[in-house]
Structure formats: structure tokens, C-alpha cells
Structure 1
Amino acid sequence: MPAASTPAKYLDPVDPALPKVDVTLELPRTALVVTDPQIDFLSPKGAAWGAFGESITELNTVENLGRVFEAAKRAGIEVVISPHYYYPFDHRWDFAATGETLMHKLRMFDRRDPLSLEGFDGSGADWMPEYKPYIEDGKTIVCSPHKIAGPQTNDVVFQLRKKKIDQVILAGMAANFCVESHLRDFVEKGFEVAVVRDATAGSKLPEGDAYLAALVNFRWFANALWSADEVIDRLAAKGAS
């Protein structure tokens, strides 16, 4: 269920038309996949805060995602990161769509070189400091970067298959962009996917409320739509059973 403080427009309909389905977790088959847990999205110091900050604050995204990380580690499930990086040669593409054009314009996720961490620490491409203990514990799978929004350009699906994972708890940034793109691809490839509705957020621009748009599509495509509290409770219950 959404948190008590959730704005009314984000609450589920009282009388939904879509059928109710759910995911019954089996921990050996389950992974937490987090897209873009990086400074440029989630920090007031990040390049995209002007577009995403209101939604992140409204949903308490940073804290909720941290709580989900902690619960996943406590339950012993795989944690997989699908990051976003741009290198100098990525900025020399001959064409780009709207969202990626904005990311390039804001210089989001910029790194000097694929094989160098010079200037990485504390940059917009770096992990949020709150998440470093979970990501840099020597156990988390950090995949190659996706380049626009979906996992088609990195090794997330490969890593999941190699661990015999077919249930995904999905969280991270941004709701209508990378999270939704990962959701769609995972579902098409036969994964069960539960999206953590308050461990993500979307832009608020003159073009519209991206989180609301994503939420509608999550209801259509995801096998389950859970709050951070629900994820924590379900993982704890499975871990105790």
C-alpha cells in the first residue's frame, strides 16, 4: 500500500478495472535490481535535481531506496545495479531522442574514460553516499552501463540469468525512463517483476508529471506494485520462514 502521506493523485483507484495479480517471492530466485542510484539523479547536488527533486522529496525516494537496499542485504538476495555512464565518445553521437538529449545537455553521469575512475568519486556519476555500503560490499553485481534507458545495451539480463534469477524487485531512477524501460524488457524476457512504487520518482516539467505517467504503466506491466514497507515486510517474512 502507498504511504499515508502519498498525494491523492498517486493512490490506486478505489474501483480498478485491471485485474489484481501479485508475486510470491522465492528468495533463491529473487534479485533487487536498482537503476541509476547516482548523485546526478538523487542529490540536490546532481545535474537533474531541478527536474526530479520535487518528486524525490515528495515520495521520500532516497530514504525508501536505502531501506530497500538494507532489507535486500538482510534477506541475502542478489543485488544488481544497472548504472548510467557517459564517456566523451558518447557525446559525439550523430543523433539522439529527447530524453537522452537532455541528459547530454546536463552532462549527466559523465566519466572521463571507461577504464579510469579519475574524478569519479563524488561526481554526478558516483553512487549516492548513503548507498555505498550496500553497493561496495564486494557482493553486489554492478553491471556495465545502459546508454539510454533500458537493459538492452548492458549485461543486466545476462547477470540475472547466470544466477538463475527470474523474479525481480525493481527500484531506482527514473520512474518513466530507466525503471519503466527495464520493467518492460524484463517482462518481455519472462521475468516476474515487482516495482517499488516509492523507491523511484519522476520529473515534473511543463510536459507533465512523469511519475504519474509511469505509475499508470506500472499498473499495466508489472506483476506487482509494492511500497518500500511492503518489500521490507515480504523479504523479512520470507527470510524468517
Structure 2
Amino acid sequence: MSQAYDPRRTAVLLVDPYNDFLSEGGKVWPRVESVARQVGLLDHLRSVIASARQAGVQVVFVPHRRWEPGDYESWDHPNPTQRAIMDRHSFARGTWGGEFHPDFQPQPGDVVVSEHWAQSGFANTDLDFQLKQHGITHVVLVGLLANTCIESTGRFAMELGYHVTLVRDATAAYTPEMMHAAHDLNGPTFAHTVTTTDDLTTAFTET
């Protein structure tokens, strides 16, 4: 892997690491479980986050809006995902499903940005502001889902001038076809690098 990551300029964006997505018993886990197990999602997320912290790379939590009673109900046109959240109560605030997975808890020095309402971690949040205040130019995206929040956040990052890295085995989606679209069809149109956990963590140790 030729890409070098200056730890002073690089952040790993951990998107939506909720129990509802990542844990047995989570509301959305049954939909991602097959792909998540196939790619080794949890172990790869653990590896990326641990190696980032060891290398001094900034870790940034990019959480989805935690559902609360009344969310979206008075909106003019909530999107299909928001309608599903309204029905399913995904990531409900104050519940186990709306808590971060126990292996992915913010540590001193990590940044937790404001919650995004839709798919991009940048839209209507302080993510861009926080990254700029920390001197970040390169972002590495991991978490859920590959073809929605990861892709939308990555595209927005590119538009704002960041160098974007996708990690194909540190994310998941509902189907292999969605993963293929995210990494082989759409990803190369906006990401500067599409890589694997092993190559990324090797690059981190070489910084």
C-alpha cells in the first residue's frame, strides 16, 4: 500500500457503532449479520481503532441521530430510511440499542461529533469544524452502513477537500451486492484509496 498517513493529519471516522447495528439482539443486526460475519467486521473494526490509537491517529465518533418519540412524524418528507427508523425505533435514546457497542467506547482524546439526521456525517453537524480544528486532511471511514452513511459521509468529505479512504472489510451492508456497489462501483468515483484493514494497519505502523 503506497498511501502514507501522517497521524497529525489523519482521522478515523467511526460511523454509527451502535448496539442496534453491531450486537446480537440489536434491531438491525439481523440484516447486516451475514455480510458482517463474512468480512470479519467486528474484529476488523477493533483492529483499525486499536492501531489508530497506537499510531496517534485521531479517532472520531460519527453517530446517527438517536431516535426519540416524535422524530420525523411532523416532517414533510422523511426519506425511506427515516421512515424505517420511525417504525423500528432504531438507536433509541436511553436504550441499550442506542448505546455504542462495548468494544467501541470513546476514550480520552477521541472526538464525538453531533448526531446526523440522515446519511452524511457532515450535513447539519460539527464534523467538518472539528476536523479542521484538529488539523485533519485525511479521513478513513469505517462502521455502518457501507452504501449509505459511509458512502454519503465519504462523498461529502471529498467535496470538502479531504483525502478519503474506504476500508472494504471494516464496514458492512445488507447484501453482498450493496458491498460491491459501495466499494467497486461507487467508491472509486470519490475515494482516493479503497483498501483493507490489514493494509491500513500496516500503513499506520509505518507512519
TM-score range, shorter chain: over 0.9
In the alignment, structure 1 residue 139 sits paired with structure 2 residue 109: yes
**Per-residue deviation, 1:180:** 0.2
Look up the match of 2:80: 98
**Per-residue deviation, 1:110:** 1.1
Question: Is the Cα contact below 8 Å between 1:173 and 1:200 reproduced in 2?
Answer: yes
CA gap of 1:212–1:103, structure 2 versus 1, over 3 A, is farther
Look up the match of 2:205: 236
Secondary structure of the residue aligned to 2:104 is helix
Aligned residues: 203
Secondary structure of the residue aligned to 1:93 is coil
TM-score by length of 1: 0.80
- Deviation above 3 Å: which 4+ runs of structure 1? none
Distance 1:31 1:144 in 2: 16
**Per-residue deviation, 1:130:** 1.4
Secondary structure of the residue aligned to 1:131 is coil
In the alignment, structure 1 residue 170 sits paired with structure 2 residue 133: no
**Per-residue deviation, 1:102:** 1.7
Question: Is the Cα contact below 8 Å between 1:23 and 1:192 reproduced in 2?
Answer: no
- The worse-fitting range, judged by mean Cα deviation, of 91-100 and 37-46 is 91-100
**Per-residue deviation, 1:51:** 1.6
Distance 2:192 2:134 in 1: 21
**Per-residue deviation, 1:154:** 1.2
Q: Work out which of the residue numbers 94, 97, 107 in structure 1 matches 2:89.
A: 107
**Per-residue deviation, 1:129:** 1.0
In the alignment, structure 1 residue 82 sits paired with structure 2 residue 62: yes
After TM superposition, the structure 1 = structure 2 runs for residues 174-193 of structure 1, keeping only pairs within 5 Å, are 174-193=145-164
In the alignment, structure 1 residue 198 sits paired with structure 2 residue 169: yes
**Per-residue deviation, 1:49:** 1.6
Gaps of 5+ in 2: none
**Per-residue deviation, 1:24:** 2.9
Question: Is the Cα contact below 8 Å between 2:3 and 2:203 reproduced in 1?
Answer: no
Q: Which amino acid aligns with 1:70?
A: A
In the alignment, structure 1 residue 48 sits paired with structure 2 residue 21: no
Q: Which amino acid aligns with 1:194?
A: T
Secondary structure of the residue aligned to 2:98 is coil
Look up the match of 2:119: 149
Look up the match of 2:182: 214
Distance 2:177 2:88 in 1: 20
**Per-residue deviation, 1:47:** 0.6
Question: Is the Cα contact below 8 Å between 1:75 and 1:236 reproduced in 2?
Answer: yes
- The worse-fitting range, judged by mean Cα deviation, of 182-191 and 79-88 is 79-88
**Per-residue deviation, 1:23:** 3.7
Secondary structure of the residue aligned to 2:24 is coil
Look up the match of 1:65: 45
State, as a whole percentage, how many aligned pairs show the same letter: 30
RMSD of Structure 2 on Structure 1 (CA) = 1.6
**Per-residue deviation, 1:86:** 2.2
Distance 1:93 1:53 in 2: 32
Larger Rg: 1
Secondary structure of the residue aligned to 1:197 is strand
Secondary structure of the residue aligned to 1:209 is helix
Question: Is the Cα contact below 8 Å between 1:83 and 1:143 reproduced in 2?
Answer: yes
